[in-house]
Amino acid sequence: MPDYALMNQCIYDGKAKEVEQMTQAALAEGRTAQEILQDGLIAGMSVVGEDFKHNILYVPEVLIAARAMKAGMAVLKPLLSAKGATDTSSGRLLMGTVRGDLHDIGKNLVCMMAEGAGFIVKDIGVDQSVEKFAAAAEEFKPDIIGMSALLTTTMTYMKTVIDGFNVPGRDHIKMAIGGAPISQMFADEIGADGYGADASSAVDLFLYLVGKGEAPKASFKTGAAPVKTAPTAAQRGPNPVARFQVLYWQNLAAEIKAWDDFEEIKVALPQRFADRIDATAQRLGVTKGDDYIAQLRWSDEAERPGTPTEVAAALKAELEAASP
Ligand code: B12
């Protein structure tokens, strides 16, 4: 029996090689692709999604976990698409990122999870106009169109697409939307049939829209990580030492992690660090989701005297001083 708990943990930790090997091993053991996908990959990614929602994980870690899930998906994909071609599919989903927007990581994740849930998915990519959605729908005959937008300047284009589908012959197609700046309120405002805050809520929504699931509960990102009781000084002893790693995009710092036997602290760097990464990626033309994610890596583990909070705060101050 494959160790799915370990596989889930490897997804969570972003260990792509391990996930790929464990997926192959599980198949060799005779497990079905569907079982491995559900219990090994999606179950792991769902925890990532939940922790992201509660601010326990930040975006870069979600991306690294997604890369690990993708490594497993690549092994399963040929087997899953053979299955998806049968009449037992959940429904047909056409996905794209709207015009002017190049962000595709979230969309790709939604596509992966929807395929895992049995949908036949056609992904038309990024920067898609209403005309391109219409032409693809003509050919693919979807039950649902899923649109993604990550920029406040492009999210308004979703209404243009929805209006373009509000005509006889196309108005039976359900319109779902998502992306970081999207909310249920915005979905209501532009007349979308539904909104999903993350990939697992997206799948719940799609199943509901094709009449195969219950109405999803309103989903939203909650404000703060659950508070853990900090260990006492007595529990730690007189000379605490914490281990730490810094997450880099190329050579640009993105996040700090510090931990000891008692707790783990994550510290996001100020917004200007993320902006610098985005701008550099744009300048270098590293705009495709996979290429962008491939540039993320954790530094080797190291240790310093102090509690995780102290060590993370000191590192943050040093990185801020080095990159004003
Ligand atoms: C990675 C990234 C990039 C990469 C994109 C790589 C790629 N191919 O995707 C690159 C470097 C190319 C990039 C470029 C830019 N970016 Co950018 N980028 C990001 C970043 C760091 C992460 C986005 C991401 O992948 N999130 C992780 C995924 C998993 O989450 P998600 O996309 O939200 O998707 C989930 C849900 O929303 C939902 N979902 C998504 N789609 C759908 C669809 C449906 C139907 C449903 C139901 C659900 C659903 O499910 C997904 C999975 O859980 C964000 C910061 C952030 N915190 O979000 C900025 C961010 C989105 N970018 C931003 C900006 C400004 C830009 C640039 C203009 C920067 C520049 N200086 O040029 C350009 C714009 C390029 C363009 N025309 O699109 C801003 C947007 C600000 C705003 N409010 O408009 C952000 C918020 C950063 C910031 N400065 O604060 N970016």
Q: Whose CA is nearest to atom 71 of ligand 1?
A: 279
Is the C-beta atom of 150 inside 6 A of ligand 1? yes
Show the tokens assigned to 194: 């539904």
* Pairing outcome for strands 119-123 and 91-97: parallel
- Supply the pLDDT for residue 220: 55
- Supply the pLDDT for residue 26: 96
Instruction: Express each pLDDT in 107-165 by its tens digit.
Output: 988 988 888 788 999 999 999 999 999 999 999 999 999 999 999 999 999 999 999 99
Q: Whose CA is nearest to atom 50 of ligand 1?
A: 198
Is the C-beta atom of 202 inside 6 A of ligand 1? yes
- Supply the pLDDT for residue 85: 46
Ligand 1 centroid, distance to 103 Cα (angstroms): 5
Q: How far apart are CA 248 and CA 255, in angstroms?
A: 7
Q: How far apart are CA 127 and CA 22, in angstroms?
A: 35
Is the C-beta atom of 199 inside 6 A of ligand 1? yes
Pocket test for ligand 1, best of 11, 59, 98, 103 (most atoms within 8 A of CB): 103
210-219 in b/e form (b: 16+ CB < 10 A) is beeeeebeeb
For the segment 248-275, the average pLDDT, to the nearest whole number, is: 90
Ligand 1 centroid, distance to 151 Cα (angstroms): 7
Which alpha helices (DSSP H) does 227-323 contain, by range?
A: 233-236, 271-284, 289-294, 308-322
Ligand 1 centroid, distance to 141 Cα (angstroms): 28
H or E segment to which residue 115 belongs: helix 105-116
Q: Whose CA is nearest to atom 80 of ligand 1?
A: 151
pTM given for the model: 0.84
Ligand 1 centroid, distance to 101 Cα (angstroms): 9
Query: Can you tell me which atom of ligand 1 is nearest the CA of 194?
Result: 47
Is the C-beta atom of 97 inside 6 A of ligand 1? no
Q: Whose CA is nearest to atom 40 of ligand 1?
A: 179
- Supply the pLDDT for residue 182: 95
**Angle at the Cα of 253 from the Cα atoms of 252 and 256, rounded to 5 degrees:** 170
- Supply the pLDDT for residue 268: 85
Confidence of residue 78 (pLDDT cuts 50, 70, 90): confident
Pocket test for ligand 1, best of 154, 205, 278 (most atoms within 8 A of CB): 278
- Supply the pLDDT for residue 305: 95
Contacts with 313 (C-beta within 8 Å, 6 or more apart), sequence order: 267
Confidence of residue 223 (pLDDT cuts 50, 70, 90): low
On the question of pLDDT at 294 being above 80, the answer is yes
Ligand 1 centroid, distance to 286 Cα (angstroms): 14
Instruction: Express each pLDDT in 243-261 by its tens digit.
Output: 999 999 999 999 999 998 8
Please say whether the dihedral angle defined by the alpha carbons of residues 19, 20, 21 and 26, taken in this order, is positive or negative: positive
- Category of 319 on φ-ψ map: left (φ > 0), alpha (ψ -120 to 50) or beta: alpha
